């Protein structure tokens, strides 16, 4: 559980991405970006226009588990692309390692536009949270389009005596290291957003991330929270 003050390294690293491409700017909460291997940009527009692209099934690699927001958006995009291109576009989930597994698959694929990546903000943040990456997000991917924009929300339990952001900051300063906060996982955008909030507010709260289990089918009672 890293204290909030350790976020300074990420702030410094994120500044290196600023101004390169809009998809990597840290001040955007979450952006899902459809990308392909960067070498595709070496092919001239004329050549692409004369080719029979797509010549086979197009894969959209989703670096997260099925059923999540990223997966849902990818399937909507795949359906629309299939109708538009006249070729089958399939979604392939490759979760794990903070989305780097799926990213590596696309980075190592043939740069012909038949393997696409439904990217997340982790394309930018992983460069700061992992010591070693299997790809360079700026060099190895070429952005195609922004698929969706989703803001983050910060909420507190009604029992916590904080009715505003100012109240929460004051409470955290009075009780440093005692307030826990949850997110969708270590290194995710919600986690890093709260770390950034802590750093800017000069407070220390403790991240309490989820302990993920292997995806499985839920019973009706589990789904309803019973």
The model's pLDDT over 81-118, given as tens digits with 9 standing for 90+, comes to 999 999 999 999 999 888 999 999 999 999 888 999 99
Report residue 198's pLDDT band, with 50, 70 and 90 as the boundaries: very high
Higher pLDDT, 106 or 19: 106
Short-list 43, 31, 37, 30, CA closest to 58: 37
Q: What pLDDT score does 106 carry?
A: 94
Query: Which domains, and CATH codes, for the chain?
Result: 19-149 (3.40.190.150)
Q: Which residues contact 41 (CB under 8 A, 6 or more apart)?
A: 142
Q: Which residues contact 26 (CB under 8 A, 6 or more apart)?
A: 11, 14, 17, 18, 124, 125, 196
Higher pLDDT, 129 or 16: 129
Report residue 36's pLDDT band, with 50, 70 and 90 as the boundaries: low
Over residues 200-214, the pLDDT tens digits come to 999 999 998 776 555
The whole-angstrom separation of Cα 77 and Cα 89 is: 9
C-alpha distances out from residue 82 to 24, 89, 105, Å: 28, 5, 22
Report residue 2's pLDDT band, with 50, 70 and 90 as the boundaries: very low
Q: Which segments within the chain are labelled E, that is strand?
A: 31-37, 58-62, 89-93, 115-119, 141-149, 180-181, 206-207
Structure tokens at 24: 């990597």
Q: What pLDDT score does 17 carry?
A: 33
C-alpha distances out from residue 162 to 131, 147, 154, 169, 170, Å: 37, 35, 12, 9, 9
Report residue 29's pLDDT band, with 50, 70 and 90 as the boundaries: very low
Report residue 41's pLDDT band, with 50, 70 and 90 as the boundaries: very low
Residue 218 pLDDT > 90: no
CB 212 within 8 Å of CB 7: no
- Residue 123 DSSP SS3: helix
CB 57 within 8 Å of CB 47: no
Q: Work out the angle at residue 103's Cα, subtended by the Cα atoms of residues 136 and 58, and round it to the nearest 5 degrees.
A: 125
Residue 4 pLDDT > 70: no
The whole-angstrom separation of Cα 150 and Cα 65 is: 18
> Which residues lie across from 34 on neighbouring strands?
118, 145
Least confident residue range of 2-16, 108-122, 205-219: 2-16
Residue 221 pLDDT > 80: no
Mean pLDDT computed over every residue of the chain: 77
């Amino acid at each position: 559980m890293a204290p909030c003050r350790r976020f300074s390294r990420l702030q410094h690293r994120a500044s290196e991405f600023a101004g390169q491409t809009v998809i990597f700017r840290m001040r955007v909460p979450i952006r899902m970006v459809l990308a392909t291997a960067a070498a595709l940009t070496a092919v001239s527009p004329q050549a692409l226009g004369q080719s029979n692209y797509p010549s086979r099934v197009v894969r959209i690699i989703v670096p997260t588990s099925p059923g999540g927001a990223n997966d849902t958006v990818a399937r909507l995009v795949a359906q629309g692309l299939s109708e538009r291109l006249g070729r089958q576009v399939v979604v392939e989930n490759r979760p794990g390692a903070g989305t780097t597994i799926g990213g590596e698959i696309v980075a190592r694929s043939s740069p012909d536009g038949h393997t696409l990546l439904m990217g997340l903000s982790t394309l930018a943040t992983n460069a700061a949270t992992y010591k070693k990456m299997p790809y360079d997000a700026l060099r190895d991917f070429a952005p195609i389009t922004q698929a969706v924009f989703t803001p983050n929300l910060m909420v507190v339990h009604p029992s916590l005596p904080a009715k505003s952001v100012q109240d929460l900051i004051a409470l955290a300063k009075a009780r440093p290291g005692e307030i826990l906060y949850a997110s969708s996982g270590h290194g995710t955008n919600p986690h890093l957003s709260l770390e950034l909030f802590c750093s800017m507010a000069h407070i220390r709260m403790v991240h309490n991330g989820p302990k993920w289990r292997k995806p499985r089918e839920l019973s009706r009672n589990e789904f309803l929270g019973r």
